[in-house]
Structure 1
Amino acid sequence: MTTNNAQAPVELKAEDLPAYCPNPNMPLWSSHPKVFLDMSHGGKATCPYCGTQYQLAPGTVIKGH
């Protein structure tokens, strides 16, 4: 029996940007220093601390300043 512990990526919308981890839905006990994530390379990013994967929701456009 194969166990897959991988979780689905956290889907972000335009109003969730800039992307950062830990996100507000994570429990306090699993916190680590806040890290901003670069979503400009294919709309995906992985947290270097905890490995949580993030991706932009379909149709989400990143707008520069």
Structure 2
Amino acid sequence: MSHVELDGHDLPAFCPNPSMPIWSNHPKVYLDLGNEGVGKCPYCGTVYRLKPGAVVHGH
């Protein structure tokens, strides 16, 4: 299982991300990082986490 750290400009979080190899692709899913700033892909198990101090802009 891999881990990916995100900045505020990387949101919305989705998987697979652009750095993943083409052979490991699965259907694209958007991840809710919730209040904890952490989300896990239901397909591959990759954990996405906001970097400490990341600034998240609202709508």
Q: Distance in 1 between matches of 2:19 and 2:55?
A: 23
* Alignment-mate amino acid for residue 4 of structure 2: V
Q: Secondary structure at the match of 1:10?
A: strand
Distance 1:28 1:63 in 2: 30
Identity %: 59
- Which one has more relative contact order, counting CA pairs under 8 Å at least 6 apart? 2
> Gapped runs of 5+ residues in structure 2?
none
TM-score, normalised via structure 2 length: 0.90
Q: Name the structure 2 match of 1:48.
A: 42
Which residue number corresponds to residue 23 of structure 2?
29
How many equivalent pairs are there?
Answer: 59
RMSD: 1.2
Structure 2 residue matching 1:41: 3-state secondary structure: coil
The higher radius of gyration belongs to 1
SS in 1 for 2:23: helix
Tell me the TM-score normalized by structure 1.
0.82
Q: Which stretches in structure 1 are left out of the alignment for 5+ residues? A: 1-5
User: Is the strand fraction higher in 1 or 2?
Assistant: 2
